[in-house]
Amino acid sequence: MDSYKYKYRPEPYRIKMVEPMRIPTREQREEAIKRAGYNTFLLNSEDVYIDLLTDSGTNAMSDNQWAGLMLGDEAYAGSKNFKHLEEAVRDLYGFKYVVPTHQGRGAENILSKIMIKPGDYVPGNMYFTTTRAHQELAGATFRDVIIDEAHDPENEHPFKGNVDLAKLQALIDEVGPERIPYISLAVTVNMAGGQPVSMANLKAVYELAQKYGIKVMFDATRCVENACFIKHREPGYENKTIREILREMFSYADGCTMSGKKDGIVNIGGFLALNDQELYQKATALVVVYEGMPSYGGMSGRDMEALARGLYEAADYDFVAHRLDQVRYLGEKLLEAGIPIVKPIGGHAVFLDARRFYPHIPQDEFPAQMLAAQIYLESGVRTMERGIISAGRDAQGNHYYPKLELVRLTIPRRVYTYAHFDYVVDAVQAAWNNRQNVKGLRFVYEPPVLRFFTARFEPIQ
């Protein structure tokens, strides 16, 4: 079958256990979205049919990972499962020190606290919500140094996550290298649409940073997807394994934060990885305050075992190529239906361009928030806003106005089949057909930070 060219890559697994679900009726959906204040984060999971809210912690673990759960060593200190996790990170990513945390933001909190002084600047390739929140809480100002193409949903640059070296150099010249503790580099870039960074760019950023003694810290949350894009798109990498590509990628970093809930293929967990011993010591001093002993950091032994096994499974080409194909399948079907999406299709999600859905709704009446609510109303499919609500407010209390006003359809790992994606395409098509009849939203309740999680809205009449 090697010569057989499939239209899309079939599942590299078979189903051993099923979780029944049902489509709520139109009346149930209308009631549910009102109860949720038009915020899909506030819907009950029971009221949702296909859940594309996030790929975070929603993964299906393998039989091998479930078997690993039974081998949990729940000793308070020195669990053997921590050793396995540490070995996996050393082996796959090449870092010396591993600090486990309850999830990615636990690692971000510690990294921000040990490295940032008030008044510092942290450049990054587009912001991520929790990452920037921790940097700002530690007293830093975030500066976006991603290439301009990343802010244009129509631009088909193959590596839209790349750093613009001129922007990075300009920031160094403006504030001085001593006020830049590290460069925060996401691989892939979630907020740009799951877009990858090229190996050449990772190398160039690292060289520039080294020249000024600035550290480079990866947000490694979706590093496996980034590696697969490099294999598919960057000349010279087509015959390399995902593991070889990962090792080279991480050779251009001084450390990373990781949410195991994404490319770790588990439901909870994360870590901070470092090469510098002094930094590692500072991190262990804080992990005991915020997470737990340095040998569990908020995870149970069994969780660490499942994560160690998941890291290996994710670094397998069949796994990640199938995942990228599922996302591509959904994206291409939407394009065929004439739906405006961010191009090229990213690694973990398809992003709808809400500005082109609802050109008649101004950005401060939250078109993407409304589009996510409409898709739910049409179908029971849950998606999420990634636009002005996610971007939040600046220190003066004004909305950030991001160029991208998107709705994210995020694909959990190993959970849904291609038939589910056909249903999702019909759901989005129904929202598209009804687009002229839809108006914007206004706040009923707005929380002070990370407002997208718990804000409530009502439709503008």
Ligand X SMILES: *Cc1c(COP(=O)(O)O)cnc(C)c1O
Q: Kindly give the pairing relationship between strand 270-274 and strand 349-353.
A: unpaired
* Distance (Å, whole) CA 41 – CA 453: 6
Residue window 179-218: x/- pattern of binding to ligand X, with contact defined by CB under 6 A: -------x---x----------------------------
- Is residue 124 classed as helix, strand or coil in its secondary structure? strand
**Interface segment toward ligand X; rule CB under 6 A; list 13-21, 127-135, 143-151, 242-250:** 127-135
Interface with ligand X includes 410 (CB under 6 A)? no
Closest distance to ligand X from the beta carbon of 430 (Å): 29
- 128 carries an active-site annotation: yes
Closest distance to ligand X from the beta carbon of 191 (Å): 8
Closest distance to ligand X from the beta carbon of 270 (Å): 5
**Interface segment toward ligand X; rule CB under 6 A; list 71-79, 128-136, 398-406, 426-434:** 128-136
Interface with ligand X includes 266 (CB under 6 A)? no
What is the dihedral sign for C-alpha 320, 227, 59, 51?
A: negative
Interface with ligand X includes 323 (CB under 6 A)? no
* Distance (Å, whole) CA 444 – CA 457: 5
Interface with ligand X includes 270 (CB under 6 A)? yes
Closest distance to ligand X from the beta carbon of 310 (Å): 13
SS (H, E, C) 401-433: CCCCCEEEEECCCCCCCHHHHHHHHHHHHHHHH
- Tokens 């996996």 map to which residue? 88
Measured CA angle at 104 (ends 237, 353), to 5 deg: 70
Interface with ligand X includes 226 (CB under 6 A)? no
- 101 carries an active-site annotation: no
- 76 carries an active-site annotation: yes
Interface with ligand X includes 221 (CB under 6 A)? yes
Give the total residue count for the chain: 461
Tokens standing for 419? Answer: 């038939």
Instruction: Determine contact, residues 101/272, Cβ cutoff 8 Å.
Output: yes
Q: Scan residues 102-121 and list those touching ligand X (CB under 6 A).
A: 103-105
- 452 carries an active-site annotation: yes
Closest distance to ligand X from the beta carbon of 422 (Å): 27
Out of 130, 267, 383, 410, the only residue in the binding site for ligand X (CB under 6 A) is: 130
Question: What is residue 154's DSSP assignment?
Answer: T
- 29 carries an active-site annotation: no
- 241 carries an active-site annotation: no
Interface with ligand X includes 125 (CB under 6 A)? no
Residue among 54, 101, 129, 130 flagged as catalytic? 129
* Distance (Å, whole) CA 428 – CA 340: 11
- Report the residue number, 186 or 425, with the smaller CB distance to ligand X: 186
* Distance (Å, whole) CA 250 – CA 413: 23
Strand partners, 255: 217, 274
Residue among 29, 386, 413, 451 flagged as catalytic? 386
What is the dihedral sign for C-alpha 339, 345, 350, 353?
A: negative
Catalytic residues: 76, 128-129, 219, 262, 386, 452
Residues that bind ligand X (CB under 6 A): 56, 103-105, 128, 130-131, 186, 190, 219, 221, 259, 261-262, 270
